[in-house]
Chain A
Amino acid sequence: NAGVTQTPKFQVLKTGQSMTLQCAQDMNHEYMSWYRQDPGMGLRLIHYSVGAGITDQGEVPNGYNVSRSTTEDFPLRLLSAAPSQTSVYFCASSSLRSEAFFGQGTRLTVV
């Protein structure tokens, strides 16, 4: 049972490039979320989804897009990378009001 799988683990982008961070879960969870983690700021919610076809914005959605075409996958797209998006990104999935399972994170550097 893989749980939540994020790819890639590390990525370096140039300013202005676009990319997609992948997240997949095999626990049939309805709820999936993307967070970014910066020193001293905790985990900040970027986007979340309550089921296939349904997404909504979190606290810091600007510069990011998401889609949820299947229950399993919840990719995060950076449209035009900026240095301010240098961060560690975590994907999480859960059932309603239950333990959230986190992926191992993607460490992104934008130069």
Chain B
Amino acid sequence: QQPVQSPQAVILREGEDAVINCSSSKALYSVHWYRQKHGEAPVFLMILLKGGEQKGHDKISASFNEKKQQSSLYLTASQLSYSGTYFCGTEEGGNKLVFGAGTILRVKS
């Protein structure tokens, strides 16, 4: 079952902050975050694991509420390079990763 992402789209000016949310109705083992630029493959940002472990880029911040099956990605002091579509992926078990519909982020100068 696809996780639900919000918002669907967001426009920021450089330096502003944004939060992208991801929720599932199922118990999760892990939540993944990826960014995709137009015409390119998705690129890994972060994994949040059940139990609190996180793996990912130092400049990316995210949270995972295991009880509510919700995750949030925090983008602070946004730069033009942050523009793209952000996907959360959720794993209910067996390393089977299902993605949400995506959040389009546009950063303007």
A residues sitting closer than 8 Å to B (CB atoms) are: 31, 33, 35, 40-45, 48, 50, 56, 58-59, 90, 92, 94, 96-105
Contacts and interface: CB of A to CB of B under 8 A. Distances in A.
The 7 closest A-B pairs by CB, nearest first: A102-B41, A42-B101, A43-B99, A99-B44, A42-B102, A31-B95, A42-B99
A94 B100 CA distance: 19
A15 B40 CA distance: 27
Interface residues of B, number: 25
Q: Is the interface of B mostly helix, strand, loop or mixed?
A: strand
B37 to A, nearest CB: 12
B107 interface: no
Interface of B: 2, 29-30, 32, 34, 40-44, 47, 49, 55, 87, 89, 91, 94-102
Contacts of B96: 33, 45, 48, 56, 58
Contacts, number: 62
Contacts of B95: 31, 50, 94, 96-97
Contacts of A104: 40-41
5 contacts: A58-B96, A97-B30, A99-B47, A100-B32, A105-B41
A71 to B, nearest CB: 15
Nearest to A59: B98
A99 B97 contact: no
A43 B96 CA distance: 13
B49 A90 contact: no
Contacts of A102: 41-43
Nearest to A45: B98
Nearest to A104: B41
Nearest to B43: A102
Given A99-B47, A102-B41, A59 B2 contact: yes
A107 to B, nearest CB: 9
Nearest to B103: A42
Contacts of B100: 42
Contacts of B94: 50
A2 B30 CA distance: 27
